[in-house]
């Protein structure tokens, strides 16, 4: 029982500023983090939130709901030598298609790209050859749409537990998606976006044509801090859909060319 409240203490969130921008008659709120101005060019990380963080009145939600504020923490910033962070908020959900829910399109595609392009132009020290895009679930869906339709913009992407129907991806789509290096993350116990029905088939098609693609598929999602435990003393096991926990805790890694490489380390090395 929580009986005392010391007030809103959110040191990482307070590193961000919050704004709204109108594009294509749609206003998108967004959280923005800017590295120290050292006269050097810095990359941009774009984080797209899940289904639960949408809205139009609180642009802090996209970085608070799933801990995306960690993109501004030194534990992740160190890989990039300092990076801009842009976390837009969708008024409803990124999966709001032109014809129906999750139909392979989004009514927010053009407004979101308008925001991204404006943000890049407004920051003179932003390296436009190192723009990285990722998202969780609903945000993973939009990540796939943008790398499919704007293959020349993003240096790399990291779709997580993405809710993108495999049947909506044509062979031409696969060719376009393959132009952007991608690192997919999911969990075998994900019942919201079952990887065998969504991510795995897409990864297999990308690998078949020689795309620069990596895939981390966890057995389960459990606490690694040692703080949260189950009644039997074992680490607390979370919902299998919550694979973003490992991304923000910098615990996603694969062996590449005989060397263990973390997702963020790999991401920082990609350039257009």
Q: Which pLDDT value is given to residue 25?
A: 87
Q: How far apart are CA 90 and CA 50, in angstroms?
A: 9
Residue 4 neighbours by CB distance under 10 Å: 4
Give the N- to C-terminal CA distance of the chain in Å, as an integer: 51
Q: Which pLDDT value is given to residue 167?
A: 79
Q: Which pLDDT value is given to residue 23?
A: 86
HSE value, Cβ hemisphere, 13 Å, CA-based, for 3:
1
Q: Which pLDDT value is given to residue 30?
A: 97
Q: Are 128 and 116 in contact (CB under 8 A)?
A: no
Tokens of 89: 């908020």
Report the SS3 class of residue 192.
coil
**pLDDT tens digits for range 173-196:** 999 999 999 999 999 999 999 999
Residue 245 neighbours by CB distance under 10 Å: 20
Q: How far apart are CA 203 and CA 195, in angstroms?
A: 10
Tokens 């380390």 found at: 265
Report the SS3 class of residue 248.
helix
Spans of the chain, pLDDT less than 70: 6-9
Q: Which pLDDT value is given to residue 65?
A: 85
Q: Which pLDDT value is given to residue 168?
A: 80
């Amino acid at each position: 029982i929580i009986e005392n409240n010391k007030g809103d203490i959110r040191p990482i969130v307070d590193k961000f500023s919050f704004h709204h921008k109108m594009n294509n008659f749609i206003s998108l709120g967004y959280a923005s983090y800017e590295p120290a101005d050292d006269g050097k060019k810095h990359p941009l990380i774009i984080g797209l939130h899940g289904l639960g963080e949408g809205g139009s009145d609180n642009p802090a939600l996209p970085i608070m709901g799933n801990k995306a504020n960690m993109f501004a923490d030194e534990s992740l910033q160190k890989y990039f030598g300092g990076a801009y962070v842009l976390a837009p908020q969708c008024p409803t959900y990124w999966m709001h298609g032109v014809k129906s829910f999750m139909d392979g399109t989004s009514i927010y595609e053009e407004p979101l790209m308008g925001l991204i392009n404006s943000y890049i132009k407004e920051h003179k020290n932003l390296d436009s050859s190192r723009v990285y895009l990722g998202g969780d679930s609903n945000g993973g869906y939009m990540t796939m749409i943008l790398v499919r339709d704007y293959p020349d913009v993003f240096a790399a992407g990291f779709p997580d537990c993405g809710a993108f129907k495999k049947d909506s991806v044509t062979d031409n789509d696969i060719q376009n998606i393959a132009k952007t290096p991608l690192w997919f993350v999911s969990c075998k116990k994900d019942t919201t976006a079952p990887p065998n029905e969504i991510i795995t088939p897409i990864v297999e098609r990308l690998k078949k044509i020689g795309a620069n693609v990596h895939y981390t598929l966890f057995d389960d999602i459990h606490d690694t801090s040692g703080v949260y435990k189950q009644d039997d003393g074992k680490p607390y096991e979370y919902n299998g859909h919550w694979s973003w926990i490992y991304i923000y805790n910098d615990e996603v890694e694969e062996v590449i060319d005989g060397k263990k490489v973390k997702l963020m380390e790999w991401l920082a090395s990609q350039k257009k």
